[in-house]
Amino acid sequence: MKKEEALLKDHISKHNLKVTKERSAVLRVFLDSDRHITAEELYRKMRDTGSSIGLATIYRTLNLFCESGLAEQRQFGDGQARYELVYNVKHHDHLICQACNRIIEFQNEEIEALQEKVAKKNNFKIFSHKLELYGICSACSAEKNALDQ
Amino acid sequence: MKKEEALLKDHISKHNLKVTKERSAVLRVFLDSDRHITAEELYRKMRDTGSSIGLATIYRTLNLFCESGLAEQRQFGDGQARYELVYNVKHHDHLICQACNRIIEFQNEEIEALQEKVAKKNNFKIFSHKLELYGICSACSAEKNALDQ
DNA sequence: TTGATTATGATAATGAATCGCAAAATTATA
DNA sequence: TATAATTTTGCGATTCATTATCATAATCAA
């Protein structure tokens, strides 16, 4: 059994919930998908492969993943929440290309340390943070330059 | 005439729009409000002082403020957009207290510089960024400690 | 297997934000 | 300052993502 599956089952048993084929199927597809997937995308992906799962169940299951610490919800400003596997994944922030919607993950210890410093200076205790850099990636930038010629 | 009003009127005249009493009133109340106000809060504030303005007009006007460079829209994760005066205001990021919803602004040149460095390393051109630190402020932290006694 | 409990799918409901429209307001022009 | 072209307004309807409701189905401890 995968460690992600074990984590979910542990959460389920600790909260008097039940292991269902839908939950198992959503987990399987979720783990096999691009990071930063939306509920709708996951729903389509499952329906397209013959599943008769409902959209509400997708949302309920993704929320369950978040409650169990397996995933986190992100808002990148396009109006749809995205869900990302965080269990056993090192913390990181995001670069978001506004041309092709590509999401690049990055880590920077120096920035993290400075955030703590800012928090301390303001007597603030940080529980979580969000750092997103919006712009244009190298591929889109090159494409734009080519078009401009 | 205030510089903010001048900016808005400049934008209006450059785009064949019209100066209306509603737009002037929304600007007046907006400038006189807490930073990071929601459309609904601005609507309530105006209705409570006798205005018969519609909510749609509030939204349209706040969008106009954003287009003119007077304001920017922010999402702090509670599902409602907040609007913040940015004209003639130095760039800053936010600390958000999840207990009392207080928003503290801060500036940190070192973090900004490191963001640029990250972007460069990824051949990414930054147009904007979002850095939000979520947690609990000193006042709420003290209150919580007192209750725990 | 049963029985208590939880989960599911379909659909309705929600809430923030936008749209369409007829009426009203603005503004350039005469 | 009247006119006419254009934009804006408030209202209500609409959209879209997400959640709630509810009857039926599935799970699982005993």
Query: Secondary structure of A27-58 in the HEC alphabet?
Result: HHHHHCCCCCEEHHHHHHHHHHCCCCCCHHHH
Residue B67 CA, nucleotide D9 C1', distance (Å):
20
- Two structure tokens written together for A85: 């596997």
* pLDDT tens digit sequence for B133-148: 999 999 998 876 776 7
pLDDT at A149 over 80: no
Task: Number of helices (H) and strands (E) in chain A: give both, helices first.
Answer: 6, 6
Q: Supply the pLDDT for residue A146.
A: 75
Chain D positions with an atom below 7 A of a protein C-beta are 6-13, 16-21, 26-29
Beta bridge partners of residue B37, listed in sequence order: B83
Q: Are B144 and B99 in contact (CB under 8 A)?
A: yes
Residue A53 CA, nucleotide D27 C1', distance (Å):
17
* pLDDT tens digit sequence for B21-50: 999 999 999 999 999 999 999 999 999 999
Nucleotide nearest to B79 (CA to C1'): C16
| 3-class state of residue A147 by DSSP | helix
For residue B134, give the nearest of A111, A129, A133 by CB distance. A129
User: What backbone torsions phi and psi does residue B73 show, to the nearest 5 degrees?
Assistant: -90, 140
Q: Supply the pLDDT for residue B56.
A: 98
- pLDDT grade for A144, boundaries at 50, 70 and 90: low
User: Averaged over A87-101, what is the pLDDT?
Assistant: 92
Residue among A89, A72, A65, A84 at smallest CA distance from A7? A65
For residue B104, give the nearest of A122, A128, A131 by CB distance. A122
Looking at per-residue pLDDT, the higher value among A99 and A146 belongs to: A99
Which chain B residues are Cβ-neighbours of A123 within 8 angstroms?
137-138, 141
**Amino acid code (one letter) for B35:** R
Q: Supply the pLDDT for residue A141.
A: 84
- pLDDT grade for A98, boundaries at 50, 70 and 90: confident
Looking at per-residue pLDDT, the higher value among B31 and B149 belongs to: B31
Instruction: Establish how many alpha carbons lie within 13 A of residue B76's alpha carbon, considering only the half-sphere containing its beta carbon.
Output: 22
Cα torsion A85, B95, A134, B62: sign: positive
Interface test mutation site (partner B, options A73, A105, A130, max chain B beta carbons within 10 A): A130
Q: Supply the pLDDT for residue B149.
A: 64
pLDDT at A71 over 70: yes
Give domain B1-87's CATH number out of 3.20.20.80, 1.10.1660.10, 1.10.3720.10, 1.10.10.10.
Answer: 1.10.10.10
Q: Are A91 and A109 in contact (CB under 8 A)?
A: no
Q: Supply the pLDDT for residue B100.
A: 86
Q: Looking at chain B, which residue has its C-alpha nearest residue A78? A: B75
pLDDT at A53 over 90: yes
Residue B52 DSSP class: -
State the Cα torsion B39-B91-B89-B10 to the nearest 10°.
Answer: -70
**A102 vs chain B: nearest CA distance in angstroms?**
11
A90-149 CATH: 3.30.1490.190
- pLDDT grade for B108, boundaries at 50, 70 and 90: very high
Q: Supply the pLDDT for residue B101.
A: 83
* pLDDT tens digit sequence for B49-97: 999 999 999 999 999 999 999 999 999 888 899 999 999 999 999 999 9
A1-88 CATH: 1.10.10.10
Residue among A111, A149, A146, A147 at smallest CA distance from A130? A111
The ranges assigned to domains in chain B are 1-87, 90-149
Nucleotide nearest to A59 (CA to C1'): D18
- pLDDT grade for A145, boundaries at 50, 70 and 90: confident
